[in-house]
Amino acid sequence: MDVDPAPAGRLAAAAHRLTEPLPPLLVAAERVANTVALGIHGRRRVGVGETFWQFRAYMPGDTIGRIDWRQTAKRDTPFVRELEWEASQTVHLWRADGPGMGYASARAAGSKRARADLLLMALAILLDRAGERVALLDGENPPATGRSNLMRLAAGLAAPIADRPHDLPTVRPRLPAHGAVVLAGDFLAPLPEIEAALAGLAARRQRVHVIHLLDPAELALPFRGRIRFHGLGRMAGTDTLIPRVDSVRPLYQERFEAHCAGLAALCRGLGFRLARHTTDQPVESALMGLAQGLAAR
Amino acid sequence: MTGWLAPLAFTAPWLLTALVLLPAIYWLLRVTPPAPRRLAFPPIRLLLGLENTEETPDRTPWWLLLLRLLVTALVILGLAGPILNPGERLGGTGPVLLVVDDGWASAAAWPERVRAATDIVDRAGREGRPVILLTTAPPAAGTPVAASDVLTAGEARARLEALDPKPWSTDRPAALAAARATAAAGPITAIWLSDGLAGEAAQALTTLLQRAGGLTLVNPDTGPLLLRSPEGDGRALVATVVRGPADTQTEAAVTLRLLAEDGRVLDRQDALFDAGARSARTRFDLPLEARNQAAAVRIEGITGAAATALMDERYRLRPVGVVVPETGDQVQPLLAPSFYLEQALAPFGAVTTAPLADLLDGGDQAAIALTDGPGLSEPARQRLTGWIEAGGVLIRFAGPLTAADPDPLMPVALRRGGRSLTGALSWAEPMPFDRFDPAGPFSDLTPPPEVRVSQQVLAEPSAELAGRTWARLIDGTPVVTARALGRGWLVLFHVTASPDWSDLPLSGLFVDMLRRTVALAEGVDSPAGGVALPPIVTLDGFGRLQEPGGTVRALPAEAGDAVLGPRTPPGLYGTADYRQAFNLGDMVEMPAAAFDPPAGVPVRGYAVAETVALGPWLLAVALALIALDTLIALGLRGRLVPAFGKRKPVAGMAALIVMLGAAGAIEPATAQSVPQIRAEERDLLAATGTYLAYVRTGNPDVDAMSQAGLDGLARVLTARSSVEAQGAFAVDPATDELAFYPLLYWPILPRQPDLSAAAVARLNAYMRGGGTIVFDTRDQPQGGFGGRGGPRGPAAERLIDVAGSLAVPPLVPVPPDHVLTKSFYLMQEFPGRFEGGDVWVQTADVAVNDGVSMVVIGAHDWASAWAMDAAGRPLRPVVPGGDRQREMAFRFGINLVMYTLTGNYKADQVHVPSILERLGQ
């Protein structure tokens, strides 16, 4: 278990916040986030910030205002005080929606949507603690930090399906370049459609993390006997009668892996990171991987 | 429709035509595969096109098809109402005339007869034929014998159920007339359920019915038994049983019971019929106390008025008076003559000791014994003479006073003085008796040689002396002389009633001689002649005592005028002072010859093959198969495997359906159960707390009621007393340790099985060790433990048999001062769900375990009165009802537990003042 290196004051503030009436999702997400806490991190280089980084000798071109007079008075030559660069990132979160995301088999801990919400919310908390600005990719609010922003995020994730009917991400018109985007979804649409959707993000020079969120039953097809399957969401109205599910299981698994392989190839080509997460796995491991991936440059 | 399988018939055969639908059902089932499970699945796109990857059966498997066809066929067959052993067709045409003999001779096997009659009516119903019912005994209402109207089978069945055997004879001539009237209306098919007795008109009735359209005669295999009124023979009673003419060939034995008024069995004796003999006799030899309690004789195991003989006061022992002097100046009681007389008379007579005037004033002495005394006064002699002439027996004894001055009231003239055979101046030795005169009343006695007479009074020789002499000494001197006087006798013993003059009063011979003498007395007189006797209780056809119905008339005073019939059924008639038994056995005669039906009449026995309706069983099997089919269908749809299906309990639910279906079809409504607990846990709990216990009977309803009852009692105990009863446990006396429980409640069922040796040993040890077993036969409405000589309930009968193997002490009804009446509450009645009837405990002289009774026996169904649900509401109503009865039932339960826990504590005199205070005295 990681030890929280955050200062005691903020810990107390966090503890205080915990006592507030929070949306259930926020509470669960904070519980998860606490296990993966990273803290505010500097950029380990000179830049715009508040924290002292180094003193260096005055060089021609430096403005006079940057001279640290106290240090200069101690020495013979003038010194300039440099601060660490503390630029915050902008991270956009997106979660697929639609009836398919509500699917939960008996072996899963919950639906895919619930897992995605928890994962993204925990990530948002982590990012918020790190000072990053977070927003929903398809939301109305601009990226921001702070508690109220987290509340907005949680409300946005819980918004009715009708507002966000898409099972694939669409590019926001005012998406700033060079931001980070986290996409969580089952990506069961045909590969060309997925490629079209992701290509738009790539064009905006986003660093994209794709979480391929699946139910274990979708991977394994563990059913037996005579079953009439019917689709959800876009596939609603489609149904197929499988007389003996056992007999088609290898073929199905083969097809599914091919789809996953296609998705992986697509992401690799676009420079996206792809991680597969199933709802029977612990959420902490996925969060950890995601956080580390975001932190790495 | 039944030609291929004779003992099978259908109540609704047209339903069988539905069987032709089976091929259609087969086709429908074949083309309809089992419905698939529906499942939402997001990645369905990946599944599309995979359907036909393998050849899979989309049709119902052939064995499932077969199963479903079988279910359908079973349902059709079941609804068609198949019946096993329906019996052959009745034959003939027209309505079925069912002639039923319901006289006294039919009572013994009445249920069998009703079953046979019902069977015939059922058959008539199946063939759609109406039934005419003709019972041959006059109805109890006093109406004449007549055939019923034309009835449907259902109406006839209802009448049969209400039919009882009558405690009088059939009236065949009247039945013949009724049958003739019925036959005149058209052709009939007759069946005669006969009692097997050849009566008048039996042949004529047979011929008539045979000509009217055919007759089947149903004859019993064995004839009836007829019990005559018992006869007194000294102290013994002799009962005679007559059997039917058809049964006389073989040897047989019947058991007779001598019953007291409260139904207790005083004696049981076997009566043996020799081969060829029509009648059998048996003797009841009983001590005085038991003899005088006898109220009826019954043939064991046979019901009916003919198997019951009631006994009235005529059977009671003779009241005998012993005269003592009015002054009472007897200084030495053991030497007084009256003492020896009392001792000698007691075995066979009810002895009263009083002055002569009092005895005569009492007026009901059968015999009076008068010891030596001064001569009787003239008025006394006249009164005595009048009493003797009315039927009394005066037994006089000689002595010094008589010898000195004999009064005239003697059977023979006496010499003054008498003679002495001993003494200093005598040459003679005391002399023994001679053999008794074979014509006299002592003819069957043999005088023992050691009985000698040393002194006597002597009779004057006369012509009639020899005829009046009953006993002599070996030299021919009369010792006992007697003379008939009117309807009575005057008897003189020429010796004293004390051993002064002879050894006779010390010998058993004295008792026997007195017994034969007293037996000459006529005994109790009937009240003034010519008065008709009103009925007190009457016997019904089953031999049960009941209140006389409204149609019963008084019995004519003259015995010859009484006619057995609806007006005067057998029973007890008279008043509270004088009761006269009117027994069927004395009023009817067993025919001398067996009934021999004319040739050509088919005759069969009463035994009918049990008809079994197979329909419910077929439907039950079909239901079970449907449940099985459900399971198979679930299996085919993959629902039985609890892998990913969200509804895991499906398999359990299917199993539940199967079990419920099976249970519902075969054994409905025995869902109540008794909580189970492991024996060790139970023993531990019972050893550390106060628990009541009941014996598990195996009947779930009874066991549940016992549990609820004792639990309820435990709650009341805890609430009201310092007994903190925790609850109740079921035990099996054959296997469980009983020592933990203060009392063992044992509901007895009519089918209570016999106890195993282990159970007997444990129960005996339990009772010896201070335990109390509370037997509850729960059959007070059916008679309980009897009363007024009525029959006992079935469970009570069974309890008497079962308890025979246990070491049960002698029992009495709870006496008014018993500890049970005051151990916590003061009470005298012990109602449970039923009230009335006695509760029996052991007699007070059994000094074991502080006198706490080893058994408490009743028929009141206490547990049902105690039973309450969790909210304290009673589970069963009490009969006749009321909060007071329920409260008294609880009070009895508390008293009972207190009694078993505290023993005779409350019997201590220390408590008398406080009890008296509570009684408000």
- Of the two residues B667 and B44, the one the predictor is more confident about is B44
| B659 three-class SS | helix
Burial A24-53 (b: 16+ CB within 10 A, else e): ebbebbbebbbebbbeeeeeeeeeebeeeb
Beta-bridge partners for B842: B811
Distance CA B493, CA A151 (A): 132
Q: What is the pLDDT of residue A28?
A: 63
Say if the Cβ atoms of A240 and B40 lie within 8 Å. no
Which of B614, B645, B650 is CA-nearest to residue B631?
Answer: B650
Q: What is the pLDDT of residue A258?
A: 92
- In CATH terms, are B96-223+592-608 and B679-919 the same topology? yes
Same domain assignment for residues A14 and A130: yes
Q: What is the pLDDT of residue B3?
A: 40
10 Å Cβ neighbour count for A18? 13
pLDDT tens digits, residue range B670-725?
333 445 677 888 888 888 888 999 998 888 888 988 999 999 999 999 999 888 88
Within 8 A of B637 by CB-CB distance, chain A residues are 225-227
Show the beta-strand stretches assigned E in B85-235: 96-100, 131-135, 189-193, 215-218, 225-227, 231-233
Nearest chain B Cα distance for residue A245, angstroms? 9
pLDDT tens digits, residue range B66-79?
888 888 888 888 88
Structural domain contains residue A288: yes
Provide the number of CB pairs (under 8 Å) joining chain A to chain B. 116
- Of the two residues B608 and A54, the one the predictor is more confident about is A54
Provide the domain count of chain A.
2
Q: Which of A37-41, B171-175, B806-810 has the lowest mean pLDDT?
A: A37-41
- Substitution target from A186, A218, A223 for chain B, most B beta carbons within 10 A: A223
Cβ-proximal residues to A249 (8 Å cutoff; 6+ apart), any chain:
A220, A221
Distance CA B482, CA B393 (A): 10
Say if the Cβ atoms of B39 and A229 lie within 8 Å. yes
Taking residues A21-42, report their average pLDDT. 55
Distance CA A198, CA A96 (A): 13
How far is CA B917 from each of CA A175, B730, B817, B911, rounded to the nearest angstrom?
Answer: 104, 40, 16, 10
Instruction: Looking at the structure, give the CATH architecture of the domain made up of residues B96-223+592-608.
Output: 3-Layer(aba) Sandwich (3.40)
Residues of B with CB under 8 A from a CB of A: 33-34, 36-48, 50-51, 53-54, 56-58, 636-639, 641, 643-646
Task: Kindly report the CATH number assigned to the domain that includes residue A33.
Answer: 3.40.50
- Of the two residues B496 and B650, the one the predictor is more confident about is B496
Within 8 A of B646 by CB-CB distance, chain A residues are 106
Within 8 A of A228 by CB-CB distance, chain B residues are 36-39
Structural domain contains residue A109: yes
Q: CB distance from A213 to chain B under 8 Å?
A: no
Which of B716, B715, B711 is CA-nearest to residue B730?
Answer: B711
Structural domain contains residue A47: no
Q: What is the pLDDT of residue B620?
A: 92
Nearest chain B Cα distance for residue A142, angstroms? 33
Q: Write a three-state SS string for B419-481.
A: EECCCCCCCCCCEEECCCCCCCCCCCCCCCCCCEECEECCECCCCCHHHHEEEEECCCCEEEE
- Position B656 confidence tier, pLDDT thresholds 50, 70, 90: low
Say if the Cβ atoms of A248 and B57 lie within 8 Å. no
- In the predicted model, is pLDDT for residue A14 greater than 60? no
Which of B359, B363, B307, B361 is CA-nearest to residue B338?
Answer: B359
Same domain assignment for residues A217 and A77: no
Which stretch of DSSP H or E encloses residue B243? strand B236-243
Nearest chain A Cα distance for residue B71, angstroms? 24
Structural domain contains residue A195: yes
Give the nearest chain B residue to A107 (CA atoms): B644
Same domain assignment for residues A64 and A147: no
Q: What is the pLDDT of residue A3?
A: 39
* Domain enclosing residue A105, as ranges: 8-40+88-295
Which stretch of DSSP H or E encloses residue B405? none
Q: CB distance from A103 to chain B under 8 Å?
A: yes
Distance CA B256, CA B224 (A): 15
Nearest chain B Cα distance for residue A10, angstroms? 43
Q: What is the pLDDT of residue A17?
A: 46
Which stretch of DSSP H or E encloses residue B657? helix B650-666
**In this structure, are residues B69 and B60 in contact, taking their beta carbons and an 8 Å threshold?**
no
Tell how strand B571-574 and strand B535-539 pair up: antiparallel
In this structure, which amino acid lies at residue B393? Answer: V
- Of the two residues A175 and B652, the one the predictor is more confident about is A175
Within 8 A of A217 by CB-CB distance, chain B residues are 644
Same domain assignment for residues A106 and A140: yes
Tell how strand B189-193 and strand B225-227 pair up: unpaired
**What is the distance in angstroms between the CA of the first residue and the CA of the last residue of chain B?**
84
Structural domain contains residue A264: yes
Say if the Cβ atoms of B46 and A105 lie within 8 Å. no
Q: Which of A181-190, B281-290, B360-369, B527-536 has the lowest mean pLDDT?
A: B527-536
Say if the Cβ atoms of B41 and A243 lie within 8 Å. no
10 Å Cβ neighbour count for B687? 11
Q: What is the pLDDT of residue B1?
A: 40
**In this structure, are residues B571 and B539 in contact, taking their beta carbons and an 8 Å threshold?**
yes
Residue among A107, A225, A239 minimizing CB distance to B637? A225
Give the nearest chain A residue to B34 (CA atoms): A226
Dihedral (Cα; B757, B758, B759, B763), 10-degree rounding: 100
Within 8 A of B33 by CB-CB distance, chain A residues are 226
- Position A50 confidence tier, pLDDT thresholds 50, 70, 90: low
Say if the Cβ atoms of A228 and B39 lie within 8 Å. yes
How far is CA A209 from each of CA A94, A100, A178, A276, rounded to the nearest angstrom?
Answer: 10, 21, 13, 11
Within 8 A of B644 by CB-CB distance, chain A residues are 105-107, 217, 222-223
- In the predicted model, is pLDDT for residue A69 greater than 80? yes
Say if the Cβ atoms of B42 and A241 lie within 8 Å. no
pLDDT tens digits, residue range B395-432?
999 888 888 888 888 888 888 877 877 776 677 788 89
- Position A264 confidence tier, pLDDT thresholds 50, 70, 90: very high
Same domain assignment for residues A102 and A176: yes
**In this structure, are residues B763 and B806 in contact, taking their beta carbons and an 8 Å threshold?**
yes
Distance CA B566, CA B562 (A): 12
- In the predicted model, is pLDDT for residue B49 greater than 80? no
Say if the Cβ atoms of A239 and B44 lie within 8 Å. yes
Sole residue written with tokens 């399906």:
A161
Same domain assignment for residues A289 and A266: yes
Beta-bridge partners for B690: B725
| B592 three-class SS | coil
Q: What is the pLDDT of residue B891?
A: 93
Rg (CA), chain B: 39
Taking the mean position of all CA atoms in its chain, how far away is CA B87? Answer: 35
Within 8 A of A188 by CB-CB distance, chain B residues are 42-43, 45-46
**In this structure, are residues A122 and A30 in contact, taking their beta carbons and an 8 Å threshold?**
yes
Structural domain contains residue A135: yes
Tell how strand B603-604 and strand B215-218 pair up: parallel
Give the nearest chain B residue to A242 (CA atoms): B51
Q: What is the pLDDT of residue A162?
A: 55
Cis, peptide link before residue B880, omega less than 30° from 0: yes
- Of the two residues B237 and B480, the one the predictor is more confident about is B480
ipTM above 0.90, yes or no: no
- How high is the mean pLDDT of chain B? 81
Structural domain contains residue A164: yes
- In the predicted model, is pLDDT for residue B606 greater than 60? yes
Residue among A106, A217, A240 minimizing CB distance to B44? A240
Between CA A19 and CA A27, with CA A25 as vertex, the angle to 5 degrees is 25
Q: Write a three-state SS string for chain A.
A: CCCCCCCHHHHHHHHHHHHCCCCHHHHHHHHHHHHCCCCCCCCCCECCCCCEEEEEECCCCCCHHHECHHHHHHCCCCEEEEEECCCCCEEEEEECCCHHHHCCCCCCCCCHHHHHHHHHHHHHHHHHHCCCEEEECCCCCCCECCHHHHHHHHHHHCCCHHHCCCCCCCCCCCCCCCCEEEEEECCCCCHHHHHHHHHHHHHCCCEEEEEEEECHHHHHCCCCCCEEEECCHHHCCCEEEECCHHHHHHHHHHHHHHHHHHHHHHHHHHCCEEEEEECCCCHHHHHHHHHHHHHCC
Structural domain contains residue A285: yes
- In the predicted model, is pLDDT for residue B255 greater than 80? yes
- Position A39 confidence tier, pLDDT thresholds 50, 70, 90: very low
Q: Which two structure tokens, joined as six digits, stand for B277?
A: 């003999």
Between CA B379 and CA B387, with CA B384 as vertex, the angle to 5 degrees is 130
Same domain assignment for residues A180 and A258: yes
| CATH topology for the B679-919 domain | Rossmann fold (3.40.50)
Nearest chain B Cα distance for residue A218, angstroms? 7
Distance CA B809, CA B194 (A): 47
Same domain assignment for residues A79 and A162: no
Taking residues B853-877, report their average pLDDT. 86
Taking residues B544-565, report their average pLDDT. 80
The full set of domain ranges for chain B reads 8-37+56-85+617-666, 96-223+592-608, 225-302, 318-518, 679-919
Within 8 A of A222 by CB-CB distance, chain B residues are 643-644
Say if the Cβ atoms of B638 and A245 lie within 8 Å. yes
Cβ-proximal residues to B891 (8 Å cutoff; 6+ apart), any chain:
B824, B825, B827
Show the beta-strand stretches assigned E in B631-689: none
pLDDT tens digits, residue range B366-395?
888 988 887 788 888 888 888 888 888 899
Same domain assignment for residues A137 and A243: yes
Residue B133 phi, psi (nearest 5): -105, 130
Taking residues A279-292, report their average pLDDT. 80
Same domain assignment for residues A117 and A64: no
Give the nearest chain B residue to A255 (CA atoms): B46
Ramachandran class of B585: left when φ > 0, alpha when ψ lies in -120 to 50, beta otherwise: alpha
Q: Which CATH superfamily is domain B318-518 in?
A: Class I glutamine amidotransferase (GATase) domain (3.40.50.880)
Same domain assignment for residues A79 and A36: no
Same domain assignment for residues A12 and A63: no
Taking residues B627-652, report their average pLDDT. 62
Which of B576, B519, B443 is CA-nearest to residue B231?
Answer: B519
Taking residues B321-329, report their average pLDDT. 72
Q: What is the pLDDT of residue B235?
A: 67
Class of domain B225-302: mainly beta
Q: CB distance from A100 to chain B under 8 Å?
A: yes
Distance CA B854, CA B838 (A): 17
Distance CA B128, CA B134 (A): 19
Q: CB distance from A111 to chain B under 8 Å?
A: no
pLDDT tens digits, residue range B523-545?
544 454 557 788 888 888 888 88
pTM for this predicted structure: 0.46
